[in-house]
A and B are shown apart, each in its own frame.
Chain A
């Protein structure tokens, strides 16, 4: 499902004394199958953009195209329900949204709300639990008796059970231990590939952006300031640093080694493996 944001603007509390411009002239193309990382400081407008992706917010200017649906500013928009079914958002700390008596009831709530039969929804719940790496024994447990990590997975299963075409992930691993973080990120990545999803990841982790995304969008003060592949983005380190953003550790390390040795490696490397090979060759005196 292609998503396209066309020169959108959003003002919070428009036409009141509290009016505040959050994003302006934001254009982003997300063709089917894209894995996009959205990066920026707190307050840069990332979350506002994110909420346009399933019409939780409607633009005050511009047009949002989500698959076959168009959401235009200043028009009455119908069929928002269908959009919300197609785009699943995993919010920050999604476990705070768990509310049902049992894990199963919690997961089937979303699909049933959109008209899926109870039997089908239960089937989906089983599958979704498996995808997030939990066993079906916990279906009958209260979600509130689970550990934090398990609760996070149940909440994610609730989104997966909607079978969305597009997944929007807002810092999905915050607070998890390193293994949990890796498992969840790898799980999203394999779903992304298997189902040819469009995935939009909002993150502070440049490591994850470099590792998983095909496209990176950087936002600052409500605008898109840079857009490109990870290699393109991380090739201009000084620009990122000026914006007060981090660069991946590998990129930073490449920079310091280039400075110390007084050489320039031929390319920007995004993995430890590639960078260590390039540097090893350099040390052995091979031409770079």
Chain B
């Protein structure tokens, strides 16, 4: 088992004026270099978890350790350098009047010297393929481009962990593809750890591991294969199952004896082909 880079120990959190806990006694570890998808219905505690991880909120009970540092009000600045977050709405996270100003904003906040800053801004925009847009105004960009700039802003701080908090949910399919592809490449190149909070089950199917949250608790964790074999149970939790699994199930109901749950369409098509050749 790889080293754990983030760990939550018995974390509970309740928003002010709310009758119940948003998170209740949640414990899990995130391993270095993995792509972890956190899924769950609206209000299951996914986004609260993200907010706790970079100190936008603090747990009432339990503790959070990020890269060996215990998260406290004193350590949040240190931790935010290691853990960058991309939010849902591309329009809500632009602060600069140009693309490069926007990326520089986080660096300024962390007091990075100007010479170093210029290098980092260029470098991180290059990584998300937005280096031709240095002086563009943000409102001329597409949603996917804006989110890539947001990712560059995070990368410039050279984090070890990047959290996508439903970062693709407001994008069209093309923008979504661009963003996920960018993160996937970065993860490989820089061995980033990626935590993706998502409703997109096709995306979750490509993660290394999935955590299912329900009513403020960890309901289940496992590989995509394990999680998606829960079938109807997932639908009960307000979630869905990926298309290729629905398709496999439909074939099974019709008496086609498939050997497993397929997460990829290609594999399913291949097995169906072997059925054909047997006839």
Using a CB–CB cutoff of 8 Å, the interface residues on chain A facing chain B are 41-43, 145, 147-149, 174-180, 204, 244, 246, 249-250, 252-253, 256-257, 260-261, 272-273, 275-277, 279-280, 282-285
B240 contact set on A, CB distance < 8 A = 178-179
Contact B246 A272 (CB under 8 A): yes
Does B172 belong to the interface (CB within 8 Å)?
yes
With the chains together, A198 CA to B170 CA distance in Å? 26
Assuming the A-B contacts A42-B143, A147-B42, A175-B170, are A180 and B238 also in contact, with contact meaning beta carbons closer than 8 angstroms in the complex?
A: yes
Nearest-neighbor residue (CB-CB) of A256 within chain B: B269
Does B219 belong to the interface (CB within 8 Å)?
no
Q: How far, in Å, is A34 (CB) from chain B's closest CB?
A: 24
With the chains together, A148 CA to B165 CA distance in Å? 15
B247 contact set on A, CB distance < 8 A = 253, 272, 275-276
The 9 closest A-B pairs by CB, nearest first: A276-B250, A178-B240, A179-B238, A249-B243, A280-B254, A149-B42, A177-B41, A204-B172, A177-B42
With the chains together, A76 CA to B169 CA distance in Å? 41
Contact A41 B174 (CB under 8 A): yes
B 176-187 binary contact with A (CB < 8 Å = 1; else 0): 000000000000
Which one of A43, A176, A204, A257 lies within 8 Å of B42 (CB-CB)? A176
Q: How far, in Å, is A174 (CB) from chain B's closest CB?
A: 6
Contact A280 B239 (CB under 8 A): no
Which one of B175, B199, B251, B275 lies within 8 Å of A178 (CB-CB)? B199
Which one of B88, B142, B173, B256 lies within 8 Å of A246 (CB-CB)? B173
Contact A257 B272 (CB under 8 A): yes
Contact B255 A175 (CB under 8 A): no
Nearest-neighbor residue (CB-CB) of B265 within chain A: A253
Nearest-neighbor residue (CB-CB) of A174 within chain B: B170
Contact A179 B239 (CB under 8 A): yes
Assuming the A-B contacts A175-B88, A178-B201, A272-B246, are A148 and B254 also in contact, with contact meaning beta carbons closer than 8 angstroms in the complex?
A: no
Assuming the A-B contacts A178-B238, A277-B254, A284-B279, are A148 and B42 also in contact, with contact meaning beta carbons closer than 8 angstroms in the complex?
A: yes
B238 contact set on A, CB distance < 8 A = 177-180
Nearest-neighbor residue (CB-CB) of B172 within chain A: A204
**Pairs across A and B, CB under 8 Å, 18 listed:** A42-B143, A42-B172, A42-B175, A43-B142, A174-B169, A175-B88, A177-B41, A177-B199, A178-B240, A180-B42, A244-B174, A253-B269, A256-B265, A276-B247, A276-B251, A280-B255, A282-B276, A283-B276
Contact A41 B172 (CB under 8 A): yes
With the chains together, A42 CA to B178 CA distance in Å? 14
Contact A283 B42 (CB under 8 A): no
A256 contact set on B, CB distance < 8 A = 265-266, 269
Q: How far, in Å, is B69 (CB) from chain A's closest CB?
A: 31
Contact B243 A261 (CB under 8 A): no
Which one of A42, A177, A276, A283 lies within 8 Å of B142 (CB-CB)? A42
B243 contact set on A, CB distance < 8 A = 249-250, 253, 272
A250 contact set on B, CB distance < 8 A = 243
Q: How far, in Å, is A219 (CB) from chain B's closest CB?
A: 13
A282 contact set on B, CB distance < 8 A = 276
With the chains together, A275 CA to B251 CA distance in Å? 10
Interface residues on B, range: 35 or more
B244 contact set on A, CB distance < 8 A = 253
Q: How far, in Å, is B63 (CB) from chain A's closest CB?
A: 27
B265 contact set on A, CB distance < 8 A = 249, 252-253, 256
B272 contact set on A, CB distance < 8 A = 257, 260-261, 279, 283
With the chains together, A272 CA to B247 CA distance in Å? 6
With the chains together, A282 CA to B254 CA distance in Å? 12
Nearest-neighbor residue (CB-CB) of A147 within chain B: B43
Nearest-neighbor residue (CB-CB) of B268 within chain A: A253
Does B102 belong to the interface (CB within 8 Å)?
no
Q: How far, in Å, is B166 (CB) from chain A's closest CB?
A: 7
Contact A257 B269 (CB under 8 A): yes
With the chains together, A65 CA to B248 CA distance in Å? 47
B170 contact set on A, CB distance < 8 A = 174-175
B 72-99 binary contact with A (CB < 8 Å = 1; else 0): 0000000000000000100000000000
Q: How far, in Å, is A202 (CB) from chain B's closest CB?
A: 11
Nearest-neighbor residue (CB-CB) of B44 within chain A: A177
Contact B269 A260 (CB under 8 A): yes
Q: In the complex, which of the residues A177, A279, A282 has the most CB atoms of chain B within 10 Å of its own CB atom?
A: A177
Nearest-neighbor residue (CB-CB) of A285 within chain B: B279
A147 contact set on B, CB distance < 8 A = 42-43
B 230-247 binary contact with A (CB < 8 Å = 1; else 0): 000001001110011011
Q: How far, in Å, is A132 (CB) from chain B's closest CB?
A: 15
Does B259 belong to the interface (CB within 8 Å)?
no
B175 contact set on A, CB distance < 8 A = 42
Which one of B43, B253, B255, B276 lies within 8 Å of A261 (CB-CB)? B276
With the chains together, A275 CA to B142 CA distance in Å? 36
Contact B275 A283 (CB under 8 A): yes
B 196-209 binary contact with A (CB < 8 Å = 1; else 0): 00010100000000
Nearest-neighbor residue (CB-CB) of B142 within chain A: A42
B 142-173 binary contact with A (CB < 8 Å = 1; else 0): 11000000000000000000000010011011
Nearest-neighbor residue (CB-CB) of B275 within chain A: A283
A253 contact set on B, CB distance < 8 A = 243-244, 247, 265, 269
